[in-house]
Amino acid sequence: MPIFDRARASRCSLDHDRAYGLASLLPKSMKALLAPDYTMSVNDSYKSLARAWIQARADLEILTQSSILRDRDLPSWVPDWRVSEHIRLFSGANCPYDACRSTKGSFAFINGGNTLVVSGLLVDKIDGLGRESGLVRDCQRGVVQPEQRLNAYETTHALFDSLWRTMLGNITTAGHQLSVSNSHVLALVLPLQEEAPGHTGEQRSAPASTRLEQLKRRVFDNRELHVGGIPLGDLIASQRDIQLQQGTPVGGGKDLDVALEQSYRFSRLKRLATTTSGRLAMVPDWTLPGDYIGVLMGSDVPLVLRKIEPGGGATNELSFHVVGGCYVHGLMHGEALESETPNLQEIQLH
């Protein structure tokens, strides 16, 4: 999958080769199902790759490459490799998450191969949205306050810790899960100042001091978003005060550079969000309030799904478009399947 990430930015004389050009590097089981055919349309070649991937691997990893930004004639579950504005939740070959507990699901292709039928759970809905990253145009602008003011993490301190872990995807730049929270780094953004410089267009190799300014801007832009019923800026300020009272070092430390870099990487093309049950999430920029959070069997990460209403092409009550992969703190390691008999649903992706 990392190879296909890079292929998005490659120059091709034929767009078919964004799918076919890397076919020789695929496992034999997948190559056996993928027969390059330049007489078919580009969209059909991308559908062939997606079907071959799902059938050969019996998983839905390729859905993490899907997004709303695609040719409208493509099914939403098929990645459009011509779109360069896409960044997965994680880089590298090994996913640090296991939302489905490595459960293999059942898959079927119907409606001429344009609809993918999967099994999974609809576990939550998007409620509030933080400000967009500024790197895409066609998305909901600005902060959208949540209707619910719940805190799924129970205490204010746990909420604060969960906020920072969410902003980092709870992983390091090396892809390892955070073992110890370094949420004290958030205190470095205070005081919140409107003149904090923006982060759009900064180079990936920028020094940590620049990354800190980028973090300050992201926090300032989201300072009024209610998380757990508390404006985000007030939450950070209250926890900073507690740290000072307890004598906890505020900011700094040997992990500062790594934390700031990971925060920057994980925020690209994503925005902070809250769910109706009070969870915190990082979701694609083009997510909307009311979108569903789905945990699908065969997918290591939850997916944002947009319900297709009657008359919009829905063939059953559980018909959706894929918006993209997301991070939801508290759902990344199989928590949705903790029930001994989870009630899996048949979900159609169009």
- Four-CA torsion 288, 142, 267, 338, nearest 10 degrees: -40
Amino acid at residue number 91: S
Stretch 203-222: mean pLDDT: 74
Distance CA 140, CA 150 (A): 23
Contact 202, 181 (CB under 8 A): no
Distance CA 213, CA 120 (A): 40
Whether the per-residue pLDDT at 114 is higher than 70: the answer is yes
First to last CA, the chain: 22
Residue 118 in tokens: 């999967």
Helix (H, G, I), strand (E, B) or coil at 177: strand
Helix (H, G, I), strand (E, B) or coil at 29: helix
Give ∠ CA 92-302-169 in degrees, rounded to 5.
55
User: For residue 254, how many other CB atoms are within 10 A of its CB?
Assistant: 7
Query: 273-313: per-residue pLDDT in tens?
Result: 999 999 999 999 999 999 999 999 999 999 999 999 877 66
Residue 324 in tokens: 């993209």
- Which 8-state DSSP code applies to residue 144? B
Query: 4-44: per-residue pLDDT in tens?
Result: 777 777 788 889 988 888 777 788 888 888 888 999 999 99
The pLDDT assigned to 256 comes to: 80
Whether the per-residue pLDDT at 252 is higher than 80: the answer is no
User: For residue 173, how many other CB atoms are within 10 A of its CB?
Assistant: 17
CA atoms within 13 A on the CB side of 193: 9
- Which 8-state DSSP code applies to residue 92? S
The pLDDT assigned to 182 comes to: 75
H helices within 226-277, ranges in order? 232-246, 256-267
CA atoms within 13 A on the CB side of 98: 9
CB under 8 Å to 111, separation ≥6 — which residues? 315, 350
Query: 143-177: per-residue pLDDT in tens?
Result: 999 999 999 999 999 999 999 999 999 998 888 88
Average pLDDT, the chain: 86
Question: pLDDT: is 253 or 115 the higher one?
Answer: 115
The closest alpha carbon to 45, from 72, 69, 14, 67, belongs to 14
Residue 64 in tokens: 């993490």
Query: 63-83: per-residue pLDDT in tens?
Result: 998 988 888 899 999 999 888
The pLDDT assigned to 175 comes to: 82
pTM: 0.90
The pLDDT assigned to 201 comes to: 42
